[in-house]
Amino acid sequence: MIAVSKTSIWAVLSGIVGLCFLGYFVFLGFEYHKDQEIKSNRLKKRLATMNDELKALVHELESSALTNSQINQQIFTLEVNMGESYLEHGDVARSIEHLTNAMVLCNKPTVLYKVLERKLPKHVFDMLKKKLEAKPSKSLSSS
């Protein structure tokens, strides 16, 4: 009979348990990242948070003594971020809506227009251009 100490038994058992623990979470990690429902729920939570932030910002701005340019800058930044977020997750219509709002609020719309023309996919930029033509806003040649 082979003499085995308690320490080596505990070492082997803890190694097996650790390996099982690690394997379980690696497996769940892959399953978690493949699940589209989890991804859509995360997106919904993130967008709900952004909408709540926008509402809180509007409420804060109504009650604070910020200047008009500071208010416009904060809302502009939030609209651009929301447009990017929606575009990353494939919701082109909402993305266009928020980017259009950002164009309206922008101090230099021609610069933003050129940046968006370079960065956005062609079909998305064409949709944005159509939306801007339909929406009464600042002239693109004013800056």
Task: Examine the pLDDT at 138 and tell me if it is beyond 60.
Answer: no
**46 shares a domain with 28:** no
Q: What's the pLDDT score for residue 29?
A: 76
With vertex at residue 128, the alpha carbon angle to CA 95 and CA 121, rounded to the nearest 5 degrees, is 75
Does 66 lie in the same domain as 98?
A: yes
- Structural domain tally of the chain? 2
136-140: long-range pairs with CB below 8 Å, 24+: 137/100, 137/103, 137/104, 137/109, 138/103, 138/104, 138/106, 138/109, 139/109, 140/109, 140/110, 140/113
Q: What pLDDT is recorded for position 65?
A: 59
Classify residue 63: in a domain, yes or no: yes
User: Is 143 inside any structural domain?
Assistant: no
pTM above 0.85, yes or no: no
Do 70 and 11 lie in a common domain? Answer: no
Mean pLDDT of the chain: 82
* Percentages (nearest 5) of helix, strand, coil residues in the chain: 80, 0, 20
Of residues 67 and 110, more confidently modeled: 110
d(CA 30, CA 83): 29
